[in-house]
Amino acid sequence: MSSEPRINDRIRAREVFLVDEDGTRLGVKPLPEALTIAREAELDLVEVAANADPPVCRIMDYGKFKFDAAQRAKESRRKSTRSAIKQMNYRIKIGGGDFDTKTRRVREFLNDGHKVKISVWFRGREVSHPELGKRLLDRIAADVAPVGKVETMPKLDGRNLVMVLAPDRRSPKKETEPPGSGEARQRTAVEAPAQETS
């Protein structure tokens, strides 16, 4: 409570420098007169600079002021938690199903506004073929292109090849499946046997 400014009858100064609700400086006023002006406007007298001589008081709707400040703080906290960096790990010899599952999760993270750090882990002598990891990262970047963009290009970090993806703010709509999936994939699966038999 001590961090909150004094308002109305809690103000102790005999006179105050008064500022009205529009920001107009009304000059130095005795405290009773300042309180009367605030009450006539059906607003509060709030001490905004207690250490000034005389203290500066402003006429305002203190309840609304506190509510707006709380909303701004809440929005600030929400934005700070949104910018978390998620991580997803791949291996060079990843199976098709695992690749699709992990990449779908990456798209979900990007849709939610998170950055995603993608790591390709090399085992044994795989580290001598970084081009395979680069090819895998390029494939991931292409799959998430509608909702994300490469923020940090692939680079070796020990035995890992690392790339950072960021949400693409220009993306018109959220997507959960890569191009060529869903209906198109089913259609291709249905059409393929017909093409083979002809």
Instruction: Per residue of the chain (198 residues), give pLDDT as tens.
Output: 457 888 888 888 899 999 988 888 888 999 999 999 989 989 989 998 888 889 999 999 888 888 888 888 888 777 665 567 889 999 988 888 999 999 999 999 888 888 899 999 888 888 888 888 899 999 999 999 888 888 889 888 888 889 999 888 765 554 444 444 444 444 433 333 444 433
pTM of the model: 0.47
CATH 3.10.20.80 range(s) for the chain read 8-74
Tell me the CATH number for domain 83-178.
3.30.110.10
Indicate the class that CATH gives domain 8-74.
Answer: alpha beta
Q: HEC profile for the chain?
A: CCCCCCEHHHCCCCEEEEECCCCCEEEEEEHHHHHHHHHHCCCEEEEEECCCCCCEEEEECHHHHHHHHHHHHHHHHHHHHHCCEEEEEEECCCCHHHHHHHHHHHHHHHHCCCEEEEEEECCHHHHHCHHHHHHHHHHHHHHCCCCEEEEEEEEEECCEEEEEEEECCCCCCCCCCCCCCCHHHHHHHHHHHHHHHC
CATH 3.30.110.10 range(s) for the chain read 83-178
